[in-house]
Structure 1
Amino acid sequence: MPGTLQRLPAIPASRKADPHPSTEVRTLIDQLIAEQKTLQTPIARYSDYHDAAPDLAEHYRTLIPLTKPREGEQYAFEVALDRCTGCKACVSACHSLNGLDDEEAWRDVGMIHGGSATPGWQQTVTTACHHCEDPGCMNGCPVGAYEKDRDTGIVRHLDDQCIGCSYCILKCPFDVPKYSAKRGIVRKCDMCHQRLAEGEAPACVQSCPTEAIRIVKVRTGASAIPQDFLPGAPDPTITRPTTRYVGREVPQGAIAADREALVPEHAHWPLVLMLMLTQAGVGMLLGGIGMGNTATAILGNVLFFAGMGASLLHLGQPLKAWRFFLGLRTSWLSREILAFSMFAPVPMVIAALPFAPDFPYKDLTARIAALSAPPLGLLAVFTSVMIYHDTRRTSWRFPLTAARFFGTVASFAALGHALASPSPLAMMLFALAVIAKIIPEARIAHLANDRNAPWSPDLHTARLQRGPLGRIYEGRMILAITAVAVALIQPWLSLPLLLIAELLERQLFFQSVHAPKMPGNFGPRRHH
């Protein structure tokens, strides 16, 4: 009868878990339960192995190279996907050995699945620093707090050099560096290089019960980077990661399991204030140049230096920021600091000259300050654009970021001109500047209306802005349009409205960005 259990002949004594043979007839369920008793989980096998051989030093040396890499080689993690069970023993061991903070983790375990092509396929993935051949973290650091060991290829973070700016977090496409609020610096995996130097396996390698992680030597060079690094992971050509994923074929259409999660990114409020206020100050100053209006010059100074002060709040170790010149060759953050330092005296001179007593060459000084303000101010804003464009985040690509940043400058320049010399033409220029800035923003957000559009970073941004960040987006648009309308009545009343609107726009800039990372946790990332 359908649904009845099949009766099987007695199991031979050699195959039964029961040591006392019996002629009792067993059901299929009885047989499966008996066989289950003979099976061991990876953890049980791991425990038995340790009990049988307490000194496992020689065993763990089989999981690491015993000689240093030769020319054209470096150390790398190798992850056997068919062995990874997602148990997070590697995460726990790394956390314990390195004494990490409660919410700090240098290794993550995430998941990828087959997507629409192979929906039944899934795989857990353990990941840490990839010790890239061209590390974005090292190239972006303004103070040289990273080094790549010439002998081993390990990318190390120099804690005592770090100023806690967190730019390396934005530069790394794999979300590897982690900010430690307790110490005011960034830290990351260093492959337990001290242990490797003594012939001992790193914590993650030694703790994995299935030996899914090991250290190997890999060839270096552009041709050595596997084209199929890991489907669902960020583009490997950006930094050329060295981790090798083996043991199981991954479908090319595989995607990160958390790709569709609409989780806003960190707001980075000090950077929101710094970018918005410095750009507003530059714009206000440029708009009032030549108008003889002291009020706009003073207001431009107040806005600009308020932004400069806010930038210090983003540094975990601000007293070390004087070392920014060490990164001028590779870091746009170093170049931004230099550019703003060159521009900073100009607004002070412009604002102070009307109150200064007459002195020789006063007119010449005023003329030089007025002529140098536009190129130096716009150069400083350009370096800010490049900082975010250089992260390779699609939502921060040059055309969009330049439109946002220079749009802020243009809006406040037009408003400053209207404040210094009110006229219908000045009002029209202000309205055009604000509208021209919000049109690209609205165009991106409009993508969320297409329910059948294929996933893209821009679509992810749009869905965040029309979903979890919807009220912020709507408030930004309403305030910007209201500022234009109010300017027709009294331009000074537009100033606070425009400041708040631009503040919300810059919050959206950070929180709605699609930030690439390795498949990992579904929660928001904790940045400084």
Structure 2
Amino acid sequence: MPSTLQRLPAIPASKKAAPHASAEVRTLIDDLIAEQKTLQTPIARYSDYHDTEPDLAPHYRTLIPLSKPGDGEQYAFEVSLDRCTGCKACVSACHSLNGLDDEEAWRDVGMIHGGRKTPGWQQTITTACHHCEDPGCMNGCPVGAYEKDSDTGIVRHLDDQCIGCSYCILKCPFDVPKYSKKRGIVRKCDMCHQRLAEGEAPACVQSCPTEAIRIVKVKTGTSAVAPDFLPGAPDPTITLPTTRYVGRDVPESAVAADRESLVPEHAHWPLVLMLMLTQAGVGMLTGGLGNVVTTILANVLFFAGMGASILHLGQPLKAWRFFLGLRTSWLSREILAFSMFAPIPMVLAALPFVPDFPYKDLITRVTTLSALPIGLIAVFTSVMIYHDTHRTSWRFRLTAGRFFGTVATFASLGNLLAHPSPLATLLFAIGVIAKLIPEVRIVHLALDRNAEWSSDLHTARIQWGPLRLIYDSRVLLAIAAIAFSLLNPWIALPLLLAAELFERQLFFQSVHAPKMPGSFGPKRAH
């Protein structure tokens, strides 16, 4: 059987001997190599097209609407999945045109795969801001640093208004807003609205070599979100994202490629200290009412926490405008509630040292009676801040148990310090153990190897894995606090503070933060 690589018919000897005779001897390999030279990648074809067509403005206008949205419409991204190659040209163009910092990106490229039912299926996903119909970032902002354009539907961030609290990052289920350390504020994609206003395509649209991204007009209201938004992405009913993913059917079993990655989230140390110390202060004050020492200690704890909260703001001098978000933002309500509570511990600490004067007893009685309800209201607003992010691990029952549990344990410790007795010691031990039980139950999930993936399982595996040392320290310190309370409750105080500090660190670092699909590698904490 002749070989497919057989040479062409031999040249006669007479012709072969001729010194100036020329004949081309080609093989199949030569033909294949020549054909390969005519094949181009999408990037190469894109480059050639730009070289041959110097003015491509008319072409790019085919990728954006020719008219502004009408009534009941807004602009939205449309992504053709069958065209996306994951080249990240859109990421690079967005970064370059918007002058982003080195570690800043407003558009990301991730991946989803078919899950257990269709393990061989996978798809790259390019994502940016979804310009939601009901934006979580805008609703959560305490200072009104977001606006949704009434004509185009584009959700814009107002940099000059931002205080850098990063609450919008927690509120957005798609991880869209990004914190800029250089500027101390949050920034995000604005769909290159200035280019659109002039009839030019956004950077990501114009740079995609396969034209996988375009701008379209979509209906608003109940039809703003596609019923099958994108399997493997966060729940679209939270904010009603408007991005359309078309061109390829995605299996219902599809999941984010980085779903199983066990990388701790940002610790948010100022928030760790703020939450733990303010709740400890509220508890110590209400548990040790009437005792000068515990009241002063409560002041130290509470105001240390309030001071730590300022460190979380990139632009703290602008925080006075918190009242702008009172209608929608739990963060604004928390600031108001703690501002109302702040004078109470100061007054209660100062009154014993103030000479008698008219209405002193009345003021003492009013501040004493108001300490507990206003303190609990303030802690409740803290609970709602995190519950309102729709992160499963921060759901109301678990978060309220942690936060009010801290208040209760320090209230029982304050009572023990002010009025030592076997009953007070028993109440303290019960409070600490009661707070530990839900935490241990969650982590117990990590021992079940057959458990289906869930946010709680993710939290359990992170605490049992990368954060195991912190988890063990939290439990051991809590038990040690109980043990030492039998000997000297003042020794139990620093042990309990350390235990609660680790508990609050676990609260932030082990949470499952919803986001758009990432790569197979570990995701980077913001």
TM-score tier, shorter chain, comes to: over 0.9
Please give the secondary structure, in 2, of the residue aligned with 1:369: helix
- Equivalent position of 2:15 in the other structure: none
AA aligned opposite 1:303: L
Q: How does 1:452-491 map to 2 (within 5 A)?
A: 452-491=450-489
- 1:9-408 to structure 2, matched below 5 A, reads 24=26, 26=28, 32-289=32-289, 292-408=290-406
Contact 2:114 2:255 in 1 (8 A): yes
Judge conservation of contact 2:171–2:388 (CA < 8 Å) in 1. yes
Which whole-Å CA distance do the structure 1 matches of 2:395 and 2:320 have between them? Answer: 29
Shift of 1:226: 1.4
TM-superposed deviation, 1:234:
0.3
**Structure 1: distance between partners of 2:39 and 2:84:** 18
d(CA) in 1 for partners of 2:186 and 2:27? 65
CA distance in 2, matches of 1:6, 1:358: 111
SS of 2:385 mapped into structure 1: helix
Change (3 A) 1:40 1:464: same
CA distance, structure 2, for counterparts of residue 488 and residue 436 of structure 1:
18
Query: In the TM superposition, what is the alpha-carbon distance from 1:6 to its structure 2 partner?
Result: 4.9
Helix, strand or coil: the match of 2:245? Answer: strand
Query: Does structure 2 retain, via aligned residues, the 8 Å contact 1:264–1:524?
Result: no
**Distance (Å, rounded) in 2 between the aligned partners of 1:224 and 1:67:** 19
For the residue of structure 2 that corresponds to 1:439, the secondary structure is helix
| Shift in Å, 1:5 | 6.9
Q: Does the 8 Å contact 1:393/1:515 carry over to 2?
A: yes
Partner-residue secondary structure (3-state), 1:400 = helix
- Contact 2:224-2:240 within 8 A present in 1 as well: no
Q: Which letter maps to 1:101?
A: D
Task: Tell me, yes or no, if the aligned pair for 1:69 and 1:217 is still in contact at 8 Å.
Answer: yes
| Cα drift, residue 220 of structure 1 | 1.0
Q: Deviations over 1:173-204 (max 9, x none)?
A: 00000000111100000000000000001011
Q: Which moved more, 1:512-521 or 1:163-172?
A: 512-521
CA contact (8 A) 1:146 1:156 kept: yes
For residue 493 of structure 1, what is the amino acid of its counterpart? I
Report the 3-state secondary structure (helix = DSSP H, G, I; strand = E; otherwise coil) of the residue aligned with 2:68.
coil
Letter in 1 for 2:190: D
**Contact in 2 for aligned 1:147/1:156 (Cα 8 Å):** yes
The aligned length equals 512
* Cα deviations by residue, 1:4-29 (Å, 9 ceiling, x for unpaired): 9755898xxxxxxxxx9968553xx6
Tell me, in whole angstroms, the C-alpha distance in 2 between the residues paired with 1:5 and 1:500: 78
Where 1:218 maps in the other structure, the secondary structure is strand
Counterpart contact for 2:95–2:105, Cα < 8 Å: yes
Q: CA deviation at 1:135?
A: 0.1
Q: Secondary structure at the match of 2:78?
A: strand
Deviation, structure 1 residue 211:
0.6
- Asked if structure 2 preserves the Cα contact closer than 8 Å seen for 1:266 and 1:524, the reply is no
1:77 touches 1:244 (CA, 8 Å); kept in 2? yes
Please tell me the root mean square deviation across aligned C-alpha atoms, in Å.
1.6
TM-score, scaled to structure 2: 0.95
The answer to whether residue 509 in structure 2 is matched with residue 511 in structure 1 is: yes
TM-score by length of 1: 0.95
Which of 459, 479, 491 in structure 2 is aligned with 1:493?
491
Q: Secondary structure at the match of 1:194?
A: helix
Q: 1:312 Cα shift?
A: 0.3
Deviation sequence 1:450-494 (CA, Å, 0-9, x none): 011110000000000000000000000000011001000000000
Post-superposition offset of 1:520: 2.1
The answer as to whether partners of 1:179 and 1:526 remain within 8 angstroms in 2 is no
Deviation of 1:58 after TM superposition, in Å, equals 0.5
The 1-side partners of 2:483 and 2:462 are apart by: 28
SS of residue paired to 1:170 = helix
Contact 1:265 1:524 in 2 (8 A): no
Identity %: 81
Distance 2:437 2:45 in 1: 61
- Once the two structures are TM-superposed, the CA of residue 223 in structure 1 deviates from its matched residue by 3.0
8 Å CA contact 2:142–2:325 kept in 1: the answer is yes
Residues 442, 456 of structure 2: 8 Å contact kept: yes
> What secondary structure sits across from 1:339 in the alignment?
helix
Distance in 2, Cα, partners of 1:100 & 1:312: 26
The answer to whether the 8 Å contact 1:266/1:525 transfers is no
